[in-house]
Amino acid sequence: MTVLVTGATGFVGRALVERLVNERRFDVRATVRHVPDVPLTGIEHVVADLGADDGWQQALSGVDVVVHLAARVHVMREAVADPLAEFRRVNVTGTFSLARRAAAAGVKRFVFLSSVKVSGETGTFSETDAPAPEDAYGISKLEAEIGLQTIAGTGAMEVVVIRAPLVYGPGVRANFAALIRVVARGIPLPLGAVHNRRSLVGLDNLVDFIVTCVEHRAAANEVFFVSDGEDLSTTELIQRLARAMGRPARLVPVPAHALMLAASAVGRRDLACRLLGSLQVDIRKARRILGWSPPVSVDEGLRRAVAWS
């Protein structure tokens, strides 16, 4: 089976490519916008950009499955004047253009990495819930899903949509990496009394699920949530990160409502919502239809993440 991975040099992409190559039953091809300084070994690189026409005929020739990871991801400090238009250009127009090319080239299945943000920012979600994205990134991912489902509805190509929550693991960046650094330095945090519930997915679990969706016949034309199967409060997450480092968790039990008020006063309500709010996904569909369970525990996933940092 020949698998094409877009976004292969990214956080998830590198781990997925390594897994596919190690499985030895896949021929792996990667599209890149430019040849990386540290090339992925054991695979063919094709230079192609979602916003251009060049390269895709070669990239898609003989491919059985496309795993589409390339995207404009959630941006903490937005610099463009019209973020939604930019998200749509890459995540909607680019994805739909690639999918149409893939179907025309005879690709059998298109696996699309979407986001829990399609469903919303807080709550407990399953695949039967109506989508309710609240930001430009989530809107663009939902619109991409709708376009892909249109293609699937024609019978031209199978589509699998994977909605992932926050992904952590070796090489993680942004807020999760910052949290690891703070815990490692022993800086006291006022997060010792947070009783929320948040779903996460370790990198190895996400990669395992993607590989399952590449191969499993029952995944065709389905939408799945994926997670570690164990939801944590922010307090528990910090405690378990500290344990993975062999360090004490320095937590001060400040009431969540007081933290929210303080964060709102300094214009950081969005950050407080992520730290204090609940966001859970139900993975029973993946268990039932695909027989999939997360192979790596939360504690082992956190250990792998902090060992890399």
Give the residue numbers annotated as catalytic, written as ranges.
Answer: 137
Q: In angstroms, rounded to a whole number, what is the distance separating the alpha carbons of residues 15 and 124?
A: 28
Q: In angstroms, rounded to a whole number, what is the distance separating the alpha carbons of residues 179 and 88?
A: 30
Distance in Å from the first CA to the final CA of the chain: 34
Task: Classify residue 34 as exposed, middle or buried by CB count within 10 Å of its CB (0-12, 13-18, 19+).
Answer: exposed
What share of residues in the chain are helix, strand, coil (percent, to 5)? 45, 15, 40
CA distances from 164 to 68, 91, 114, 227, 278 (A): 14, 16, 6, 7, 15
User: Concatenated DSSP letters for 79-130?
Assistant: -SS-HHHHHIIIIIIIHHHHHHHHHHTT--EEEEEEEGGGT-SSEEE-TTSP
For 195, other C-beta atoms within 10 Å of its C-beta total 11
The enclosing H or E element of 281 equals strand 279-281
Q: In angstroms, rounded to a whole number, what is the distance separating the alpha carbons of residues 281 and 284?
A: 9
> Is 232 in a helix, a strand, or coil?
strand
User: Concatenated DSSP letters for 17-51?
Assistant: HHHHHHHSS-EEEEEESS--SSPPTTSEEEE--TT
Crossing angle (nearest 10°) for helices 11-23 and 203-215:
60
Give 202's strand partners: 168
For residue 140 the two structure tokens come to 């663009």
